[in-house]
Structure 1
Amino acid sequence: MLTAVYFGLAASSALVIGALVGARWDAPKRLTGVLLAFASGALISALAFELFEESFHLGGAVRAGLGLLAGAATFVAVDTLLDRYVSGKSGPDEREMMASGARKGVGLALLAAVTLDGVPENLALGVSLVSGASLSLLVAIFFSNLPESLVGAVAMRNGGMSPRTVVMTWVACAVLLAAAVVLGRATASGMSEDILSVALAFAGGAVLASLADTLMPEAFEHGRPLNAFATAAGFFLSFVLAA
């Protein structure tokens, strides 16, 4: 269990680092886009060669496939409800609003989105620890948290929040997501192989949906033309760590 605590703190530390930087500095959008592209490639590799491969090995194609689809569907449903709650209507999302001028509400919306993305990612990290330390998934989550918290912190600061309040808000988010790793590890430790297979695939499906919905569109919008190379580099590093 101590390993889960260490992994949770390491993964969530990127949120604090990003907030500390964003509370004082306006990072170029291309930089954050490239970092998100790198994180996308790393997450794809970690999902394919750790989470889903292990799920397939433990439970077979049917359990793994159903778990993957269920995880993706759950993320889409919750994310849609969150978007409607934050915006109050089905209009532009927080990323489009940010393009017309960063406001405090936009930063808080991005904080909520990061939390939603981070919960399945960190639960997946905790579940994966049952079958061995998932270093590649840890690296992928770290590099996805960093640019998202950085952009969110900039939006909050430009919206009038003090740097101290910005940092403390993201620290609270980091604590929550670190706890998700411990929860995932504790929950998965008593599961049978069949149930663990579904849990791994479910977590993987939720993370995959967050990739398609959040990380990769943002990387494509702001990281071109370097986003393709950054994605490949992230995939390669994650693969090497998983090998």
Structure 2
Amino acid sequence: MGLTFAVVAIVSGALIVGALIGVYGKLRARTEGFIVALAGGALLLSLVTELIEPTLEKSNMLTTVLGVATGAIIFTVIDYLIDEKWGSNGGAGLLAAVTTDGIPENLALGVALIGAGPKEVAALGASILLSNLPEAASGARSMRDEQGWSKVRVIGLWTATAAILSLAALAGYLLFANVNEHLLGFVRCVAAGAVVASLGTEVFPKAYKKDAHTVGIATALGVLLALILSEVGGG
């Protein structure tokens, strides 16, 4: 349990580090785009190897398909409501947008840790950590420059976001630790489907806008990185 807390804290803590970079430092747009695409590629493979394939092996195809489809639909509906109905202006809207992307990732991390150690989920954890850094850096910089927020307020918001996402990961771990394999597999696939949807609607388009020429290479490198980490971890 202690290792689970440590993994979650390190991964979510990357949001605070990224916010500090955004407020006090500078991350070039092309570098940000490259890292986002790298993380996206790594996440894509990690979701398959650490969430979807285990469900297929321990449960069945129907559970896997329904879970992934359900997750993608849920994310798409919520993302639409935030963008088109609720808006993304102001602190509440910005926090909602960030947590919409982050909660599925951290829920995925939490349920992936059930019955596995940090080594077995190294690829997924590293992918989420890698995606958190540029996301927080870009968001914090936007809040400071475009919203006119103070540095303390920006760091405070991202710290609160890190705490919320940590709770999502721990909730996923604690709530589903003792359920049967079919339900656990379904939850894993719901989380995976939501993250896949976020990659298609948020992550890869953002990376392309920042660094159109090398986003394909970065994505491929991310896939290779996840593959290597998965092999090292014994996945």
- TM-score of the pair, normalised by structure 1: 0.89
Q: Indicate the residue corresponding to 1:117 in structure 2.
A: 101
CA displacement at 1:109 relative to structure 2: 4.2
Structure 2 unaligned regions, length at least 5: none
Q: Does 1:129 align with 2:113?
A: yes
2:148 aligned counterpart, secondary structure? coil
Q: Does 1:151 align with 2:135?
A: no
What is the alpha-carbon distance in structure 2 between the residues aligned to residue 178 and residue 110 of structure 1?
Answer: 18
Relative to structure 1, is the Cα distance of residues 109 and 230 closer, same or farther in structure 2, using a 3 angstrom cutoff?
A: farther
1:132 aligned counterpart, secondary structure? coil
1:1-243 map, 5 Å? 1-87=1-87, 105=89, 109-133=93-117, 134-158=121-145, 159-243=147-231
What is the alpha-carbon distance in structure 2 between the residues aligned to residue 113 and residue 135 of structure 1?
Answer: 26
Instruction: Among all aligned residue pairs of Structure 1 and Structure 2, give the percentage whose two residues are the same amino acid.
Output: 36
Structure 1 unaligned regions, length at least 5: 88-93, 95-104
Amino acid at match of 1:132: A
RMSD (CA atoms): 1.5
Amino acid at match of 1:62: L
2:114 aligned counterpart, secondary structure? helix
Amino acid at match of 1:24: Y
How many pairs are equivalent? 227
Relative to structure 1, is the Cα distance of residues 110 and 27 closer, same or farther in structure 2, using a 3 angstrom cutoff?
A: farther
Whether the aligned pair in 2 keeps the contact of 1:72 and 1:205 (CA below 8 Å) is yes
Amino acid at match of 1:27: L
What is the alpha-carbon distance in structure 2 between the residues aligned to residue 130 and residue 207 of structure 1?
Answer: 18
1:23 aligned counterpart, secondary structure? helix
CA displacement at 1:117 relative to structure 2: 0.9
What is the alpha-carbon distance in structure 2 between the residues aligned to residue 19 and residue 13 of structure 1?
Answer: 10
What is the alpha-carbon distance in structure 1 between the residues aligned to residue 62 and residue 92 of structure 2?
Answer: 39
What is the alpha-carbon distance in structure 2 between the residues aligned to residue 107 and residue 55 of structure 1?
Answer: 38
Relative to structure 2, which stretch is displaced further, 18-27 or 233-242? 18-27
Runs of 4+ displaced beyond 6 Å: none
Whether the aligned pair in 2 keeps the contact of 1:40 and 1:216 (CA below 8 Å) is yes
- TM-score of the pair, normalised by structure 2: 0.92
